[in-house]
Amino acid sequence: MKSDLANQLWQARMDGSLIDTSTVDLPSDETAAYDVQAAITELQGKPPVGFKVGATSKAAQNALGFAQPFIGPLLNRFSRKSGDQVPVAACHKPLLEAEVVVGLAQDLPPRSSAYTTDEVERAVGWISPGIEVCATRFDMELAGNGLLLIADSGINMDFVLGDPVSEWGDVDLSEHPATLSVNGEKVAEGHSGMSVFGHPFGVVGWLATHPSLSTRGLKAGDIVTTGTCTGMTPAKAGDEAQADFGALGQVTARFVSAEER
């Protein structure tokens, strides 16, 4: 089941199709869902460039039926720079999240207890604004389908990275403001401490001890997206989005039809 579903999800991600959930064997628990996720990552043929953390707010967890956040891989093939074109498939219903991105300069090895914010800060090399594009390859709604979201690479579709900032000492990351604009119009706003951890580094400290990373932890060079600061905003081909984090900079993405690429 694991490899069959992984192959179908990978193919749907590549060709912009949808999977009929009534025709496949679905994961029965979180362990099985993360096994499918790992099998998809293997199909890329390269290790992930990092990881995303989703459902970082209580409201999102309640909607998805989770007691805690979930994680997913950031794949090399779907990682871009600010200003790049991002192909999107309309049937995948892409959603945008403005996020604080963390780049690690030192390892955070696996251990039983979460790393503290201070411990994580000592391992961080830079932070950056980012836009994650989320989408599902199943013919379903997000709410109430948490296991399928995990299996489907944590619903990561694409990821756009802004310019790294190596000096952030004057920035209060527990409440640094962020806005998301689409086609020049501000559509959402929030701040960097909106997760249940209250700080992006708290998200990273939790991620390093996640069971699916129990033999790996986090490594120097990993990139971590730490959860949305602006909720989830629909996007479509032809849109241009900008996430503005003030002193931390801005990141832009231009969306084009995957069918026309």
The half-sphere exposure of 204 on its side-chain side, counting CA atoms within 13 A, is 33
Q: How far apart are CA 30 and CA 71, in angstroms?
A: 11
pLDDT average, residue stretch 116-143: 95
Q: How far apart are CA 244 and CA 148, in angstroms?
A: 31
CA distances from 168 to 127, 173, 196, 205, 248 (A): 8, 9, 22, 18, 8
Q: Is the pLDDT confidence value at 246 over 60?
A: yes
pLDDT tens per residue, range 185-204: 999 999 999 999 999 999 99
Strands (E), 43-91: 50-54, 70-74, 79-81, 85-88
pLDDT average, residue stretch 123-147: 94
| Domains (range + CATH), the chain | 2-260 (3.90.850.10)
pLDDT tens per residue, range 155-175: 999 999 999 999 999 999 999
- Cα 218 to the center of its chain, rounded Å: 15
pLDDT band at 142 (very low <50, low <70, confident <90, very high): confident
pLDDT band at 94 (very low <50, low <70, confident <90, very high): very high
pLDDT band at 62 (very low <50, low <70, confident <90, very high): confident
* Contact in structure between 121 and 201 (CB atoms under 8 Å): yes
Phi, psi of 221 (to 5 degrees): 100, -15
pLDDT tens per residue, range 2-44: 689 999 999 999 999 999 999 888 899 999 999 999 999 999 9
- What is the per-residue pLDDT for 260? 58
Q: Is 250 left (phi over 0), alpha (psi -120 to 50) or beta?
A: beta
- What is the per-residue pLDDT for 1? 55
Which helix (H) or strand (E) is 212 found in, with range?
none
User: What is the CA angle 93-192-239, rounded to 5?
Assistant: 30
Query: Which token pair is 99?
Result: 């996020």
pLDDT tens per residue, range 214-240: 999 999 999 999 999 999 999 999 999
* Contact in structure between 211 and 42 (CB atoms under 8 Å): no
